[in-house]
Structure 1
């Protein structure tokens, strides 16, 4: 696996159903390395600290392979890297094979897979189509949140090398499906 794109975003105010909402969902590819800190990515806006950022959700990774699926579902969307709100677009990360606790060496950093990403309405805002939220829940293409065990810089082209495997733990997809069932999403 390797990083295809590093993505950060600025704080933006949007009108959502007549209410001003602040979001950091609008992330875009950058040409320079990004610094992965203990609780977030340096220079990346996190506006909802209750659901994003923090030690267990410091960095969000999403698979480029999933983009191909979504392009068939939303053929009119301009699929720029970072459209899912991810900090790292990774060539082929598979939530059905990544277990909670699996650890990776990436650039100067060491990252540990922690939890799935649960979609909210802001993903719908980013796509300009609220149907993406329900459709996202019906897949296992949730992406992976990572804890930063060793801070440092990463850049496009860096290898994503697994250095620890935890097959005794649930996969990220297992966690996502369990959350979908818990929330009664059909």
Structure 2
């Protein structure tokens, strides 16, 4: 996996259901390296601290490989890297290969795969269509958030080197599918509940879907 673009956002006001809110989803490419901090990317707007940023969502990665898919669906949008709201656009990012808990060295930082993006209304506002949320779920390639174990600068051209593969884990794609499945795969659910690369609140919520053996 290789960094194609690093992206940050200024705070942007949007309106939804008659209310004005701030968002950091309108990210654009930077010309300089970005600094991955333990809770956010330095200089990047994180307006909704309840759902974005923090230890388990310090930085969001999305695959450059799927831009063609989204451009085909929304050809009239103003396309550039960062359009999917990602801090880092990565070539070769494959959610069917990434495992929750995997640790990678990239640039001067050490990061751990945590959880996929779950799209919200702000994503729909940006694309001019709230139906894009279901399209995003059905496409099944949500990118991933990472936890920053060692802070540092990353830049275009840096590659992700696997340092440690998570044991007894599940892929980001399998986890994403399980999140939205009505009948959740119980084996996958068991793996997720034991994985401390996922935040405790997420695991506690998932535990309510566990069936008694």
Instruction: Give the TM-score, by structure 1 length.
Output: 0.94
What is the match of residue 130 of structure 1? 130
The alpha carbon displacement at 1:167 in A equals 5.1
- How many pairs are equivalent? 184
Aligned to 1:155: 155
Deviations 1:108-165 (A, max 9, x none): 0011000111001111111122221110011211011000011000011111111111
> Does the aligned pair in 2 maintain the 1:115–1:146 contact within 8 Å?
yes
Structure 2 partner of 1:44:
44
Query: Counterpart of 2:174 in 1: which secondary structure?
Result: helix
Q: How does 1:28-177 map to 2 (within 5 A)?
A: 28-166=28-166, 168-177=168-177
Structure 1 residues 183 and 121 mapped into 2: Cα distance closer, same or farther (>3 Å)? farther
Consecutive unaligned residues of structure 2, counting only runs of 5 or more, are 185-213
Measure, in 1, the Cα distance between the counterparts of 2:128 and 2:78.
11
Instruction: List per-residue Cα deviations over 1:52-75 (Å, max 9, x = no partner).
Output: 111011010000001111122222
Q: Separation in 2 of the partners of 1:65 and 1:158?
A: 17
In 2, are the aligned partners of 1:67 and 1:79 still within 8 Å (CA)? no
Gaps of 5+ in 1: none
Contact 1:64 1:89 in 2 (8 A): yes
Name the SS for the 1:138 alignment partner.
helix
Secondary structure of the structure 1 residue equivalent to 2:126? helix
Deviation at 1:6, TM superposition (A): 0.2
- Bigger-Rg structure (1/2): 2
Cα pair 1:64 1:90 within 8 Å, conserved: yes
Which has more helix, going by share of residues? Answer: 2
Deviates more, 1:10-19 or 1:132-141: 10-19
Deviates more, 1:74-83 or 1:113-122: 74-83
Provide the rounded CA distance (Å) in 2 between the counterparts of 1:167 and 1:128: 40
Which segments of structure 1 move beyond 3 Å, counting only runs of 4 or more?
none
**Structure 1 partner of 2:7:** 7
Report the structure, 1 or 2, having the larger strand content.
Answer: 1
CA distance in 2, matches of 1:146, 1:183: 27
